[in-house]
Chain A
Amino acid sequence: MSESPIDIVGQEYRAGFVTDVASDTLPPGLSEAVVRHISAKKREPAWMADWRLAAYGKWCAMRPPDWAHVRFPPIDFQAISYYSAPKSLADAPASLDEVDPELLRTYEKLGIPLHEREALAGVVKAPDVAVDAVFDSVSIATTFKDKLADAGVIFCPISEAVHSHPELVQKYLGSVVPQQDNFYAALNSAVFSDGSFVYVPKGVRCPMELSTYFRINERNTGQFERTLIIADAGAYVSYLEGCTAPMRDENQLHAAVVELVALDNAEIKYSTVQNWYPGDAEGKGGIYNFVTKRGACIGARSKISWTQVETGSAITWKYPSVVLRGADSVGEFHSVALTNNYQQADTGTKMIHLGPGTRSTIISKGISAGKSQNSYRGLVRTSPAAKGARNYTQCDSLLLGDACGAHTFPYIENKSPTATIEHEATTSKVSDDQLFLCQQRGIDPEKAISMIVNGFCKDVFRKLPMEFAVEAGKLLEVSLEGAVG
Chain B
Amino acid sequence: MAALSSLEAPPWLGAEGLTRCRRALGGKLVRETWKYSPLPKVTDALIQTDVHQDPPVEALPPEAALHRFDELDAPPQFGIDLNRYPLAGIAAARAGTGWLIKVERTPSHPLRLAAPSLGVSAPVLLQVAPGCRVDIEQEAAEAASEGGLGAQVLVLSLGPDSEATCATAELASSVDRWSLLQVHLQRNAALTLNHQCTVGNFQRQDLNVALAGEGARLSSVGAALIQEGGRLDQQVVIEHASRGTVSRIKQHNLAAGRSRCTFNGRIHIHPGAAGADADLSNRNLALDSSAEVNTKPELEIYNDDVRCAHGATVGQLDAEVLFYLLSRGLGPQQAQRLLSLGFLRDGLAGPFAERAATAFAAHFMSA
Contact = CB atoms under 8 A, between A and B. Distances in A.
Direct touching of A and B (C-beta under 8 Å): yes
Interface of A: 1, 4, 6, 67, 384, 397, 399-415, 417-429
A252 B314 CA distance: 41
B302 A405 contact: yes
B307 interface: yes
A404 B300 CA distance: 11
Nearest to A421: B314
Interface in B287-325: 287-316
A413 B294 contact: yes
Contact of B298 (A403, A408, A417): A408
A407 B299 CA distance: 5
Between A411, A427, A429, the greatest number of chain B beta carbons within 10 A of the residue's beta carbon is seen for A427
Nearest to B302: A405
Given A402-B274, A408-B298, A413-B35, A427 B306 contact: yes
Contact of B316 (A400, A417, A422): A417
Given A397-B301, A421-B315, A410 B309 contact: no
A423 B298 CA distance: 11
A417 B289 CA distance: 5
Contacts of B300: 405, 407
Question: Top 10 A-B pairs ranked by shortest CB distance?
Answer: A399-B304, A417-B286, A427-B308, A408-B299, A420-B315, A421-B314, A429-B304, A423-B312, A414-B314, A414-B293
A427 B292 contact: no
Given A399-B306, A412-B312, A417 B301 contact: no
Interface string B111-133: 00000000000000000000000
Given A417-B291, A420-B316, A429 B305 contact: yes
A409 B296 contact: yes
Interface string B24-35: 000000100011
B55 to A, nearest CB: 42
Interface of B: 30, 34-35, 255, 271, 274, 284, 286-316
What is the predominant secondary structure among interface residues of chain B facing chain A?
strand
Given A408-B299, A417-B291, A420-B315, 8 more contacts: A397-B299, A405-B300, A408-B298, A411-B294, A419-B314, A423-B313, A424-B311, A425-B299
Nearest to A390: B315
Contact of A414 (B292, B297, B307, B311): B292
A405 B301 contact: yes
Contacts of B289: 384, 417
Contact of B307 (A401, A408, A417, A427): A427
Contacts of B295: 412, 423
19 contacts: A1-B274, A397-B301, A399-B301, A399-B304, A402-B274, A407-B301, A408-B299, A410-B298, A411-B294, A417-B289, A418-B316, A422-B312, A422-B313, A425-B308, A425-B309, A425-B311, A426-B308, A427-B299, A429-B304
Contacts of A404: 302, 304
Contacts of A414: 284, 286, 292-294, 314
Centre residue among B274, B308, B311, B314 by max chain A CB count within 10 A: B314
A166 to B, nearest CB: 40
A411 B316 contact: no
A406 B299 contact: yes
Contacts of B299: 397, 406-408, 425, 427
